[in-house]
Amino acid sequence: SRSLRLAVIPGDGIGQEVVAEGLKVLTAVLPADVKLETTEYDLGARRYHATGETLPDEVLAELKQHDAILLGAIGDPSVPSGVLERGLLLKLRFAFEHFLNLRPGKLFPGVDSPLAGNPAIDFVVVREGTEGPYVGNGGTLRTGTPQEVATEVSLNTAFGIERVVRDAFRRAAARPRRKLTLVHKNNVLVHAGHLWTRIFQQVASEYPEVTTEYLHVDAATIFFVTQPERFDVIVTDNLFGDILTDLAAAVTGGIGLAASGNINPTGEFPSMFEPVHGSAPDIAGQGKADPTATVLSVAMLLEHLGFTAESAAVEAAVAADLAERGDAVRSTHQVGDAIAARVSG
Amino acid sequence: SRSLRLAVIPGDGIGQEVVAEGLKVLTAVLPADVKLETTEYDLGARRYHATGETLPDEVLAELKQHDAILLGAIGDPSVPSGVLERGLLLKLRFAFEHFLNLRPGKLFPGVDSPLAGNPAIDFVVVREGTEGPYVGNGGTLRTGTPQEVATEVSLNTAFGIERVVRDAFRRAAARPRRKLTLVHKNNVLVHAGHLWTRIFQQVASEYPEVTTEYLHVDAATIFFVTQPERFDVIVTDNLFGDILTDLAAAVTGGIGLAASGNINPTGEFPSMFEPVHGSAPDIAGQGKADPTATVLSVAMLLEHLGFTAESAAVEAAVAADLAERGDAVRSTHQVGDAIAARVSG
Ligand SMILES: CC(C)[C@H](C(=O)O)[C@@H](O)C(=O)O
Ligand SMILES: CC(C)[C@H](C(=O)O)[C@@H](O)C(=O)O
């Protein structure tokens, strides 16, 4: 019998609630011969307040021993902005070389987009996850004074860009429409932008079957709302990817449905799957949160670990649930139960 | 009799066409006792190809002698990305301390938004124009090799942030809804983000009548499409402002309508008014471009120079034109003529 060692980080706010439903669906869909071993890690605002720790080294070492990580949401207003984001979430992405931050943007049948006419949206954003303005390089001078200066340094390497651009081309080549859009701002951020553009063009020459285009990030946001159907695969840097994937979630029915994978494709480190949404403290503990984004993240986790049929079953169950959902108000549990029932049946 | 010395930079592509209509409306609306003296400057792709120059020092010195600048659009695919943007457009914004980059987001009656239900949108984005990731600080190492490293440095100063934040608070306090939203990404870009947040909170204490909120840039994009009516005044950094204002243009009917002012509020340097859209080489020279964004930029120019009634007349003429526009296809000239006729009548 096989085993799946899963580290679970429910985190803060609605994280706890949605992760429970994700695990419910995972348990229901896994083949009988797969032994699911979950270890829950108490990380986030509670631990930070109790011990001052965000991600101790021992915990990082333990997490590394798992096949994958399922994360709910991190963050609470009681913790200064950046402490948990930089000290926990981004620390995991960087330590485990999650350079492939994969975020599908799909408008499921039955889901209403805020865009008039519900356009046919089905793309995936390949967001670089370990470089760019996210590296945490920068500082302040004359801090707290009227003469303060603050810097943020975006670091970009040919190595780091090439590995994610190659993944995006492979992905685009395997999809029916075979189209890849590079998004950057190479007319202003000329150093980083030209490096991205050069590598993109070099790899493109190995994929003549893939149609390519380049868009500045500002223009890309326009097309996200006026012609989202034009996108197939999008590859972009860490910060632009952050912005575009929230916008993608918005036009495909909201962050209640947006899944993501922080993937280390080499398998050297465990990959981590999480909904795009945050901890939503305003609705935490009320059983109101939509667990669908977490369930779709579980589908990505299954796909990543080679459970292709099970991944497809979860996505199909979600699609069926969404198609019938209508305006009914259901609790977090009810949505999880309904999807779990579909994959077991 | 008074005089208005206007420097005109038609620029590239449709820039020429839309600026002609902007000047037509300006001429029609100005009081009879105002002598309009325009000087046209040949800057952009043509000049760059002919002489290698983007913005010679003598031209910069001449431009400085004007009351204001009207700019069409800069950029052409024949010029390497960044050359004209950094060497001309951004050079002007930086040299003339255009720290206030003002971009209204308004859905006019009769205009269709791509958002379902045409929400009531009427906000203004106050984009910082002289700092942040736009400063051009950065470089490359091992350029062109597989070991290349590229950096972009975002520079932010208390001085630079305070002056634009103060302007935003003044603006918010003068509007009926009195609401100001700060947009940044202070949970990741902690150095710059915390500086912005600190200054925002300090100035806020002087404006108790203004309701304030903070949004991360990714969350802001969601609200731009799901609840755009929640925004009144938004203040943000140079790059986030670039992205958000294209998105704002998209949800308010397209960049054919989006105006902007690059303003030096102290009056030490001339302010510059330009449509948000680019040079659109694909439709240049065909008389298809919508000059409305340029005409609305002329309204901002008039307001800035103290021609308040004339500014209001232009905006009212545009509003009336838009309300009656329907699906009729009109040429660039026809739209300009129609609006000019309304302000003269
Ligand atoms: C919480 C934050 C650090 C994170 C990010 O910016 O990447 C989030 O917005 C996301 O998109 O996963
Ligand atoms: C052309 C480009 C340099 C410019 C910018 O990024 O500011 C444009 O996108 C704008 O918004 O005015």
Percent of chain A's residues with pLDDT above 90: 98
- Checking if the pLDDT of A1 tops 80, the result is no
Determine the distance separating the centroid of ligand 1 and the alpha carbon of A242, expressed in angstroms: 6
Q: Cα distance from A143 to chain B (closest Cα, Å)?
A: 9
Annotated active-site residue in A134, A167, A237, A321 = A134
Q: What is each CA distance from A33 to A67, A310, A331, A344, in whole angstroms? A: 17, 13, 31, 15
Query: Is a pLDDT exceeding 70 seen at residue B241?
Result: yes
Quick one: which ligand is closest to A125's CA? 1
Q: Can A12 be counted among the known catalytic residues?
A: no
Ligand 1 center to residue A192 CA distance, Å?
Answer: 21
A chain contacts of residue B86, beta-carbon cutoff 8 Å: 187-188, 190
> Tokens for A258?
């947006």
Among chain B residues, the shortest Cα distance to A245 is held by: B218
Partner residue opposite A116 with nearest CB, options B114, B149, B153: B114
Q: Is A251 on the interface with B (CB under 8 A)?
A: yes
CA dihedral A227, A232, A237, A243 (to 10 degrees): 40
The gap between the terminal CA atoms of chain B, to the nearest Å, is 23
With contact defined as beta carbons under 8 Å apart, do B215 and B223 qualify? Answer: yes
How would you list the strands of the sheet with B122-128, edge to edge?
B34-40, B2-11, B68-73, B271-275, B259-263, B100-106, B122-128, B233-236, B179-184, B211-216
- Which tens digits make up the pLDDT trace of A211-251? 999 999 999 999 999 999 999 999 999 999 999 999 999 99
Kindly tell me the burial class for residue B276, based on how many C-beta atoms sit within 10 Å of its own C-beta (0-12, 13-18, 19 or more): buried
Q: CB-based contact (8 Å) between A213 and chain B? A: no
Mean pLDDT across chain A: 97
* Residue A219, ligand 2, Cβ within 6 A: no
Q: Name the band, by pLDDT with cuts 50, 70 and 90, for residue A84.
A: very high
The single residue listed with the structure tokens 């012609």 is A227
User: Minimum-distance ligand to the CA of A71?
Assistant: 1
Q: What is the pLDDT of residues B152-208, one digit of tens each?
A: 999 999 999 999 999 999 999 999 999 999 999 999 999 999 999 999 999 999 999
10 Å Cβ neighbour count for A187?
Answer: 23
List own/partner pairs for B83-89 with CB under 8 A and 24 or more apart.
B83/B48, B83/B54, B84/B12, B84/B44, B84/B45, B84/B48, B84/B54, B85/A187, B85/A188, B86/A187, B86/A188, B86/A190, B86/B136, B87/B54, B87/B55, B88/B43, B88/B44, B88/B54, B88/B55
Domains of chain A: 1-110+262-345 (3.40.718.10), 113-252 (3.40.718.10)
pLDDT the model gives residue B326: 84
Atom 1 of ligand 1, nearest CA residue: A85
Instruction: Summarize pLDDT for A132-148 with one digit per residue, the tens.
Output: 999 999 999 999 999 99
> Above 90 in pLDDT, residue A326?
no
Residue in B43, B83, B89, B127 to alter for ligand 2 test, most ligand atoms within 8 A of Cβ: B89
Determine whether the annotation assigns residue B284 to a binding site: yes
Q: Has A328 been labeled as part of a binding site?
A: no
Residues of chain A contacting B193 with CB distance shorter than 8 Å = 81-82
Identify the band that residue A54 occupies on the pLDDT scale cut at 50, 70 and 90: very high
Q: Around B133, how many Cα atoms within 13 Å sit in the side-chain half-sphere? A: 30
